[in-house]
Amino acid sequence: MSRFVLTITAAGLFLLHFTSCSKLESSEGLLITGSSTVAPLVADAAQRFEKEYPGARIDVQTGGSSRGINDVRTGLAKLGMASRALKTDESDIQAATIAMDGVCLILHSSNPVEGLTKDEITAIYQKQISNWETLGGNAADIVVTGKASGRATLEVFLGYTGLDSADIQADVIVGENQQAIKTVAGNPKAIAYVSIGAAASEALAGTPIKLISIDGIEPTTENVARGVFPITRPLNMITKGEVTGLSRTFLEYLKSDRIRDLVETHLYVPVSP
């Protein structure tokens, strides 16, 4: 037999092998998509889960809470992540809360402003207050960082301030929490709203940002846990109908206290079972 035919046969066998392999594995695979706030926690939990259940392969992808909800609805993903409560028109899907988080405002650590009131925040995001001097800071224009529509943090923020997304006059619009944090870290005049967990972890790691108080209440996990911080939200796993197999096992795992320490490492608040 000529070498040519041999090569073709080998390639064919290889492809056959490849497809049969991926078929085998996909029965043990699980795709989770959604909120960039929930994703780091779920990814860490997935890593631990994979060690305890050899053969399971969990893939965590971000893209915002609305993507998580959308993907579960269309069946693209078995589990979705959403960093907000479900709305009334989303009764076709179910949410299981795995932790609580707050949304806080962050400034560059060199900014002397230590806290803002709800009215001040609302005014800043509508450009009614546009200079830090008005708020006791340095004479500099405020760089307002907003979030792209579809992001749960935006929706939670709109719910808190009572604004419509058309009211917000942002200078910069970002997607993920990390992008908001990097924007503020690189800009002493910027303000952004992000997940408390994500911001606190970054601040601890030395990123030059600070979490400021709202109406005098400090953005700490304790205040979120006690329910006194004004902007709090559940971190949810989204499902549609009955889930079975690996999805169910992993969902139970996420709801159990076996990831309690991970929730705390990410500076979120565990939900008491």
Partner 1 sequence: MSPSLRDRILRLSLGTTALLSGSVILAVVVFLFREAWPALASGKLSHFFTDLKWQPGSERDPQFGLTPMILASFLVTVLATIIAIPVGVGGAIFQQFYAPAFLGKFHDRLLELLAGVPSVIFGFWGLTVLVPVINRWHPPGQSLLAAGLVLALMILPTVGLTARSAIRSLDPGLLKGAAALGIGRPATILRVIVPAARQGIGAGCLLAIARAVGETLAVVMVCGNIAQIPHSLFDPVRPITSTIALEMGYASSDHRALLYAAGLILVILSGTLVGWQSYRKESFKPRQAG
CB contact at 8 A, 114 and 213: yes
Position 27 contacts partner 1 (CB under 8 A): no
- What torsion, rounded to 10 degrees, do the Cα atoms 41, 114, 187, 160 define? 60
| Nearest approach, Cβ of residue 65 and partner 1 (Å) | 8
Count of positions on this chain that bind partner 1 (CB under 8 A): 35
Query: Segment contacting partner 1 (CB under 8 A): 17-25, 95-103, 186-194, 233-241?
Result: 186-194
Candidate list 37, 38, 42, 70; residue touching partner 1; CB under 8 A: 70
Using CB atoms within 10 Å of the CB of residue 258, give its burial: 0 to 12 exposed, 13 to 18 middle, 19+ buried: middle
Applying CB under 8 A, among 56, 85, 123, 173 the residue interacting with partner 1 is: 173
Could you say which of 105, 190, 200, 262 contacts partner 1 (CB under 8 A)? 190
CA distances from 146 to 25, 116, 166, 178, 193 (A): 40, 17, 12, 13, 7
Q: Pick one of 4, 27, 54, 216: the residue that binds partner 1 (CB under 8 A).
A: 4
CB contact set of 115 (below 8 Å; sequence gap of 6+)? 212, 213, 214, 215, 216
Decide: 126 and 168 in contact? Cβ < 8 Å: yes
According to the binding rule CB under 8 A, does residue 60 interact with partner 1?
no
* Closer residue to partner 1 in complex, CB, 165/213: 165
What residues numbered 103-142 form the site for partner 1, per CB under 8 A? 140-141
Q: x/- binding map, residues 221-250, to partner 1, per CB under 8 A?
A: ------------------------------
Residues 132-153 as b/e (b if ≥16 CB within 10 A, e otherwise) read beebebeeeebbbbbbeeebbb
* Smallest separation, CB 71 to partner 1 (Å): 8
Strand residues in 51-189 grouped as ranges (E)? 57-62, 79-82, 94-108, 115-116, 143-147, 172-174
Residue 67 binds partner 1 (CB under 8 A): yes
**Nearest to residue 78, comparing CAs of 234, 250, 254?**
250
Interface of this chain with partner 1, residues 141 to 170, rule: CB under 8 A: 141, 143, 148-150, 154, 164-166, 170
Query: Which residues bind to partner 1, rule: CB under 8 A?
Result: 1-2, 4-5, 8, 63-67, 69-70, 140-141, 143, 148-150, 154, 164-166, 170-175, 179, 182-183, 186-187, 189-190
